[in-house]
Structure 1
Amino acid sequence: MKIDYLTLFPEMYEGVLNHSIMKRAQDKGIVKFNTVNFRDFAQNKHSQVDDYPYGGGQGMVLKPEPIFNALEALEKTPETRVILMCPQGEPFTQKKAESLSKSDHIVFICGHYEGYDERIRTECVTDEISIGDYVLTGGELASMTMTDAIVRLLPDVLGNQVSHEDDSFSSGLLEHPQYTRPAEYKGYKVPDVLLSGNHAHINKWRHEQSLLRTLERRPDLLEQYPLTEEDKKFLNNNKK
């Protein structure tokens, strides 16, 4: 996979992309990151990338020329996903991360002003995505968050290929509680079922705990989850 970032602040990516899982993925040749300062593609002597909005209004709007030119300079295919980081976009979810992890080439467009010229939105992008209902100074941090979620799903990036399958949201439920040694600490004990060695009982306990945690913290997720009759009975018996 190759990921390009169109940004006015390429230095922001240095720490995130060169440590931990992101660095491991690069070292293995699984992913290649590239930052492009689209100010270099401005068509005026002052390298201006924004201007006042037609019709008046507050703030500045990102001009189309630098983005169009920067995108044209990239080697793309018809399958390239060009993502506009935008508070108006669809919410980023684990399902979206899984979909994007199947792409060979992703381009993030990261703005830094009041908005984008609408022609960028309508003519250049395949996806508009938001990571939450709040406003950031620019799209860089959001694109880094998405990158982490996407790249860790690529084959051979994680040490254990199935380790992400039990993560919260991957199954449609929040992850069950996890414990490790010691079995007792300051009077707090690990649940007996996890020490039993009975994997059928352990799996049942974990599934039930995922159901409970999802009910308590994100009940909206249960609306889309294919609950079995046994699941429904368990939840009804454990509602507070």
Structure 2
Amino acid sequence: MSTPITTIGFDADDTLWQNEQFFQLTQERFADLLAEFAEPDHLMERLLAAERRNLGHYGFGIKGFVLSMIETALEVTEHKVPGEVIAELLAAGQEMLQHPIHLLPHVGETVAALAAEFELVLITKGDLLDQERKLAQSGLGEFFDAVEIVSDKTPATYARAFAKAPHGPAGAMMVGNSLKSDVLPALAAGAFAVHVPHDLTWVLEQAESPKGAHRFFELPDLGGLPGLIDGLRR
């Protein structure tokens, strides 16, 4: 490693704490509510299409997800969806926005240990208020030197987030569960990238692994991160 790592960026949802499982549970509830109007597989296809086309309007997060469910419900029922169903979808979204935070394995001790030696930056997509709430409830906020809540993650996002590091992106590492958002654009910006897969990763966050990239690494969980970094120093 020619350039020492001084800064570590972390994704939040499904890297530090559980997130996607609550979306999937709500989708199951959505399918039950619309069961008389559409088969589950067809309904999920329509919902995914709505989410994909709405990203540019609503961005990532729960609010956009709820609006996409309502739009899909209107489509599959030809605008005859009962008001009670809309109310249920709104209530489901509110429940998601209030759900307790559950840290993933080894997160607490790893973040605390690395914070003693490195500058830590949280780089996450989603609703501003919701992400701030989750960070506050996680108990991890004190360990981060900076927090970036962004509309999307591109190479320019990481170049900006790591610009203040002593060596810029070259001396930074991004850690996350999404190959599409956390790994590929961070590598393109010149940073190290560590993929920590999660069992539940949204289909729109999936991408091909950059096998052979010399700054790319993969770990089963965050517990191995300090050891990985120590190994890079040798």
Fold similarity call, TM over 0.5: no
Which TM-score applies when normalising by structure 2?
A: 0.29
Which TM-score applies when normalising by structure 1?
A: 0.28
Higher strand proportion:
1
Higher helix proportion:
2
